[in-house]
Amino acid sequence: MRIYPVFIPHAGCPHRCLFCAQDKSTSQSVVPEAEEVDGWLENVLPLHGDGEVAFYGGTFSLLPLDLQDRYLTTAGRFVASGRVAGIRVSTRPDALDDISIARLKSSGVTTVEIGCQSFSESVLIAAGRGHAATDNLSAVQRCQNAGFQVGVQLMPGLPGSSSGEALTSLRQALALKPAFVRIYPTVVIEGTKLADLWKSGDYHPWTLDEAVNVCADMLLLCRQVGMPVIRLGLQRDPQLEENLLAGPYHPAFGQLVRSRLWRRALLHASSQEQQLTVHPNDLSDALGHRGENRDWLKKINPEVSLMADKTVERGFLRIAGRDLPLIDLSAQGGHHG
């Protein structure tokens, strides 16, 4: 689904969470007026469309009520004229009481993205979130009961996190059966409290390779249960790159993670067969970012070649005439950086 993002950096946020600097992570650092949003949507929306206008970067449901109304009325006009199909808002789990949920529902909001970040109490406390894991559960369930599509945002790698915690948090999120998840491994941005911890040596971010491995485990778990992962890693932005101090940021992070799953599958398959085949649309991920998997494969087994053939189903690897699913093969391939 096409998303038309409106950034409202830190608008409505009760405080700054340890890791967050929305104004330094995207090139848009000012909260727009509803009239500006109206003008922008008028320009970018098609005459008929099935996308959603999405309010990101703040705590929508804690905005002053008149501003919520102005934004939702503006977006609602474009829904009514068929130029977009719905409205999405992003908010905190503790900012979704029954009155807020009812207001969003009656104002035409269709999707709520909830920044759960972790389901570990100690990680939430260390991240200065100001809400408990039980708020995550309650917010997701009550939004689902109200009929919203619910997305869950997770941040592996916060202080006190580990690969085990990241997977446990994901399992807890999946048990709630959201419509989709987003996964943003933690990075250190200038101006945050996390930056102070990093500078004093009290926080060590994950390396890129660690984050790719953990996120590959998370992606595999999601694929095994058919859960869409609509984003892996922060969106590339020059402002973010300028303010990034440390951590596993990569402009092609999502591809690195998908390619890691292919690498695990190739490791398993290359011990059985020298000619491996994938669908042409999977070839780029299977070969890896800038051919990393191809180079790695050459080193571990120079006889193995990877080809594309459109008779192979997407997400499958053909080994000796048999098409086997990536999710099964990568689960068997283990961790190999």
Min dist. Cβ of residue 10 to ligand SF4 (A): 6
Binding site for ligand SF4 (CB under 6 A): 10, 13, 16-17, 20, 22, 58-59, 92, 115
For ligand SF4, the closer CB: 56 or 316: 56
Inter-residue contact 240 to 26 (CB < 8 Å): yes
What is the spatial distance between Cα 63 and Cα 217, in angstroms, rounded to a whole number? Answer: 36
CB nearer to ligand SF4: pick between 59 and 277: 59
CB of 59 to ligand SF4, least distance (A): 5
The CA-atom distances, in angstroms, between 260 and each of 168, 211, 222, 256 are: 20, 11, 15, 6
Q: Which is nearer to ligand SF4, 239 or 301 (CB)?
A: 239
Beta carbon nearer to ligand SF4, 56 or 148: 56
Question: Which CB, 13 or 140, lies closer to ligand SF4?
Answer: 13
In the complex, minimum distance from the CB of residue 113 to ligand SF4, in angstroms, rounded to a whole number: 11
Min CB(89)–ligand SF4 separation in Å: 12
Full 3-state SS string of the chain: CCEEEEECCCCCCCCCCCCCCHHHHCCCCCCCCHHHHHHHHHHHCCCCCCCEEEEECCCHHHCCHHHHHHHHHHHHHHHHCCCCCEEEEEECHHHCCHHHHHHHHHCCEEEEEEEEECCCHHHHHHCCCCCCHHHHHHHHHHHHHCCCEEEEEECCCCCCCCHHHHHHHHHHHHHCCCCEEEECCCCEECCCHHHHHHHCCCCCCCCHHHHHHHHHHHHHHHHHCCCCEEEECCCCCHHHHHHEEECCCCCCHHHHHHHHHHHHHHHHHHCCCCEEEECHHHHHHHHCHHHHHHHHHHHHCCCCEEEECCCCCCCEEEECCEEEEHHHHHHHHCCCC
Nearer to ligand SF4 (CB atom), residue 84 or residue 189: 189
Residue 325 near residue 295 (C-beta atoms within 8 A): no
**273: Cα separation from own chain's centroid:** 35
Which CB, 10 or 268, lies closer to ligand SF4?
10
Distance of closest approach, residue 122 Cβ to ligand SF4, in angstroms = 18
If the CB atoms of residues 10 and 88 are measured against ligand SF4, the closer one turns out to be: 10
Q: List the one residue out of 76, 2, 5, 108 whose CA is nearest residue 46.
A: 2
Q: How far is the CB of 189 from ligand SF4 (least distance, A)?
A: 11
Nearer to ligand SF4 among residue 161 and residue 270 (C-beta): 161
CB of 183 to ligand SF4, least distance (A): 15
| Smallest separation, CB 292 to ligand SF4 (Å) | 32
